[in-house]
Amino acid sequence: MTLDLFEKFDPILNDYNSLPDGAENPFTVSMEKVLSPTTAIINGRETILAGTNNYMGMTFNPECMAAAQEALTDFGTGTTGSRVLNGTYNSHKQLEETLKEFYDCQHAIVFSTGYQANLGVIATLAGPKDYVVIDTDSHASIYDGCAMGNATVVRFKHNDPDNLDKRLNRIRRDDPEAGILVVLEGVYSMLGDQAPLKELTRISKKHNAYVLVDEAHSIGVFGETGRGVAQEQDVEDQVDFIIGTFSKSVGTIGGYCVSNHPKFEALRLVCRPYIFTASLPPSVVASATKALELIASTNLRSKLLDNSMRLNKGLCDVGFNMGTTGESPIAAIVIDDQDTAIAFWGEMIKEGVYVNLALPPATPNRMNLMRCSLSAAHSFAQIDFMLEKFTLVGKRLGILQDKVASLTG
């Protein structure tokens, strides 16, 4: 008898099948209509979106939409080809020029997603004799880039400069000549904590390692002109490669890598996730280009961080166990057990608030999280509505009971 290839998925399917049906199932929920960057119709009712990574609210920006519509009319719905065949239009080159201006750097390559940017750059740059050194809390695309490549992969403790130093010391002791790529993130996506890039880049450079920073959650959000945490912490000259995505602050889809390395363009000839996939549609390219121009000059960053402080502080004040501190637009409540987290999510959607349910293995330390990612487009009234509903559901599920009792007792 042949083995059923799906048998190995039985445990996860059993878990999945025990979830509530329809409206309260976090994995099958869908948006019937999206009304704005912060509201949508879900299950027939208007719902506040508190977990979309739409940090700058760019998805409905009139200038981005007009640019996309014009490109759609002029160039059609897609390129039907790879960047190295028929899939490079003038607008793809223009987008790369805009990225170079945005980052004030020599080279920029656009990928079809941020996932592919990490996959391609990490797997291609670090060869069989090289090392990739990554933070344990790295995004799946960084892990997958390591798995796709041939380099030796070494992990260091999350945001721990001493541990990074120890790992690099050992590599250099065993292999003084090795090429080393240290991969960091500006903001870690689940808990929204920033990397101490000053320390981490100093240590990397002490050991003669290249540094790559994934700014997926920080482009648009941090730095004087929105370049991210490397700009915010004034270490851009210590960073060799910046990876980013258009799927969050930029409000569309796509990924990129920028660099000043003189041989960077070689990636166009050897990087498989760049070569063996179709390029971004012209409408996406046009809206991304416009959004980058707007992000560089926006004054919305402080509004976004004010929103985040208001939500994080409000949730903390009522007694939730917060995984976050308000230092980024991400707010995450830690829930002790998975069933309660799933129930919490279902109650929130019934109350008209969509948040992200984040479960292991996607979370650090196997946490169950109710994760919010705020937008500069959220009003304080919307934040206060979220707070009211979180508190209501927290009490309903008994999570806030102890704190409330001890405050009143």
Binding-site ranges for ligand PLP (CB under 6 A): 113-115, 118, 139, 141, 185, 189, 214, 216-217, 245, 247, 255
What's the closest the beta carbon of residue 340 comes to ligand PLP, in angstroms? Answer: 25
What's the closest the beta carbon of residue 272 comes to ligand PLP, in angstroms? Answer: 16
Report the residue number, 79 or 189, with the smaller CB distance to ligand PLP: 189
Rounded Cα distance, 46 and 35, in Å:
9
Report the residue number, 226 or 255, with the smaller CB distance to ligand PLP: 255
Catalytic residue among 112, 189, 204, 259: 189
Question: What six digits make up the tokens of 173?
Answer: 């002791």
395 in catalytic set = no
Closest CA to 191 of 56, 308, 352, 310: 308
Catalytic residue among 248, 303, 378, 389: 248
CB-neighbour burial class of residue 22 (10 A; exposed 0-12, middle 13-18, buried 19+): exposed
Catalytic residue among 107, 217, 290, 378: 217
157 in catalytic set = no
Establish whether the linkage from the previous residue to 161 is cis, with ω within 30° of 0: no
Report the residue number, 210 or 390, with the smaller CB distance to ligand PLP: 210
92 in catalytic set = no
8 A C-beta contact, residue 305 and residue 159: no
Report the residue number, 214 or 236, with the smaller CB distance to ligand PLP: 214
What's the closest the beta carbon of residue 246 comes to ligand PLP, in angstroms? Answer: 7
Beta bridge partners of 369: 334, 358
Report the residue number, 247 or 382, with the smaller CB distance to ligand PLP: 247
What's the closest the beta carbon of residue 190 comes to ligand PLP, in angstroms? Answer: 9
Rounded Cα distance, 44 and 69, in Å:
28
What's the closest the beta carbon of residue 327 comes to ligand PLP, in angstroms? Answer: 16
Rounded Cα distance, 350 and 45, in Å:
9
Rounded Cα distance, 393 and 339, in Å:
14
Rounded Cα distance, 155 and 146, in Å:
11
Residue showing the smallest CB distance to ligand PLP in the complex? 114
What's the closest the beta carbon of residue 228 comes to ligand PLP, in angstroms? Answer: 11
Report the residue number, 159 or 247, with the smaller CB distance to ligand PLP: 247
Q: Which residues are catalytic?
A: 189, 217, 248
